[in-house]
Amino acid sequence: MNPFAGVIVGAVLATVGGFLSTQVQAVLDGRRRRRNAALLCGEVLAAIERILTAAEPHHHDRARFGPVTLRLLRAARREVDVYERNREHMFDLPDADLRAGVHSFVVRLSIPLDRLFDDFERYSAIYATTGEATAEALKLSDDMEEVFKVVYESTLQIPGLLRRLKPLAGYGFEAYSRLET
């Protein structure tokens, strides 16, 4: 046998081995990225669902937008911020409809949350200036109540999204629903 044949066969095998290991690593990295993206989305959505579910009974106590309700709504907004800071990971989810559903949900939740905070600031400013519930303050209060309903009712969409994320994440996100208020 030619001495160069061994070198050639070795080089071919090394090249094929390198190619195959790169392909296997790419597949494993893709799975890991898909799982991490699904976990991130699922954790954010499950946390939002739990926070808004906890806010609802506090909202119906004496003060409709008391300090506990507002803190819970701000916590939900911070979860939206976590999603927004990590949005590029969404592209690792292979299901375009799921990506669109999650993103659409978060956008449709962030808009009324932001409006609630803006309206509450205006309401507080009016109340601080006049010391009484003016017609404008009462109108803002009613508007805030309607917006809160929209925010709270949005939680009904979360279980469906979590069910779709579960196979990708390999995790069911039930831990949040087991938490006490």
Residue at 9 is within a domain = no
Residue 92 confidence class, pLDDT cut points 50, 70, 90: very high
pLDDT exceeds 60 at position 181: no
Residue 47 confidence class, pLDDT cut points 50, 70, 90: very high
Residue at 22 is within a domain = no
Q: What is Dmax (Cα atoms) for the chain?
A: 101
Q: 65: domain range?
A: 35-169
Nearest to 74 by CA among 122, 110, 127: 110
Residue at 77 is within a domain = yes
Per-residue model confidence (pLDDT) at position 104: 94
User: Whole-prediction pTM value?
Assistant: 0.81
Residue at 134 is within a domain = yes
3-state helix, strand, coil in the chain (%, to 5): 85, 0, 15
pLDDT exceeds 60 at position 21: yes
Residue at 21 is within a domain = no
Q: What is the CATH number of the domain that holds 49?
A: 1.20.120
- Please give the tally of structural domains in the chain: 1
What angle do helix axes 135-153 and 96-130 make, rounded to 10 degrees?
Answer: 160
Q: How far apart are CA 26 and CA 155, in angstroms?
A: 36
